[in-house]
A = this chain, B = another copy of it.
Amino acid sequence: MMPRYRLLIEYDGRPFNGFQAQDGLPTIQGAIERAVKAFCGEDLRLQAAGRTDTGVHARGQVVHVDLAKDWPAETVRNALNAHLVPQPIAVLEASVAPEGWHARFSAKERRYLYRILNRMAPPALDQGRVWHVKKPLDAEAMHEAAQALVGHHDFTTFRDLGCQAKSPMKTLDLASVRREGDEVLLEFASRSFLHRQVRSMTGTLAEVGVGRWTRADLVAALEARDRRACGPVAPAEGLYLTGVAY
């Protein structure tokens, strides 16, 4: 049997046209598949826990590859990293997956972090890694409002019109907002998310943060089950896929 390798991946989303392979465009999937080919000569498609959009980062993406040969896991990690350099993609860990395990279908929870830099000055060290919001945000009000999103809901309001999921029903397990110095950090966890759900929720919560929306406005938007009720969608650059639980 071909061994299946589980890979924990970190990447900077800036130079890529998103995760998913596209002909002629730089993508994270394409870069990893080319590294696999360079390592062992195999042309294969990898499977990933989450397909992140253009400009979205990851500290804990999980993918799997089925290789023809039984390599030591550290060899797979080190060889792929050697072939990925200097692209900003790194294989943090590699391990042989248990029988029947699948990076996408076995995932029980995805976790995302959204970083807002909330100060007058633009980012210097964190260009392309944070959403810059100049108006002061009330992180406590955002946290309080975010609790209205937790639970099993129809998230049509917070779903991109191009989303291909069969159902808009999702269960949000965690929505947390806190301030750390100049940054407002939002964390979300769910078995799975709709397309642009995290960025749609974040942009709408920022409206609460600046005082333009109340918690009641957010609840009404959720209950509207209408994309037009969503606030502005936060940009990709502040979003990180931080982990996947199995």
Chain A interface residues (CB < 8 Å from chain B): 10-12, 57, 59, 74, 77-78, 81, 85-86, 88-93, 119-125, 127, 129
Q: How many copies does the complex hold?
A: 2
- 21 residue pairs of the A-B complex, CB under 8 angstroms, read A10-B125, A11-B125, A12-B124, A12-B125, A57-B125, A59-B125, A77-B120, A77-B121, A78-B120, A81-B120, A81-B121, A81-B122, A85-B122, A86-B127, A88-B124, A88-B125, A88-B127, A90-B121, A91-B121, A92-B119, A125-B129
Provide the residues of chain B in CB contact with A122, threshold 8 Å: 81, 85, 90
- How far is it, in angstroms, between the C-alpha of A93 and the C-alpha of B120 when the chains are bound? 9
4 shortest A-B CB distances, which residue pairs? A90-B124, A90-B121, A10-B124, A88-B124
Provide the residues of chain B in CB contact with A119, threshold 8 Å: 92
Whether B12 contacts A127 by the Cβ 8 Å rule is yes
Shortest A7–chain B CB gap in Å is: 10
In the complex, given contacts A57-B125, A89-B124, what are 12 additional A-B residue pairs having Cβ atoms less than 8 angstroms apart?
A10-B121, A10-B125, A74-B120, A77-B120, A81-B121, A81-B122, A88-B124, A88-B125, A90-B122, A90-B124, A91-B121, A125-B129
Provide the residues of chain B in CB contact with A93, threshold 8 Å: 121
Shortest A72–chain B CB gap in Å is: 13
Whether B124 contacts A11 by the Cβ 8 Å rule is yes
- How far is it, in angstroms, between the C-alpha of A11 and the C-alpha of B121 when the chains are bound? 12
- How far is it, in angstroms, between the C-alpha of A186 and the C-alpha of B91 when the chains are bound? 26
- How far is it, in angstroms, between the C-alpha of A104 and the C-alpha of B71 when the chains are bound? 57
- How far is it, in angstroms, between the C-alpha of A122 and the C-alpha of B124 when the chains are bound? 23
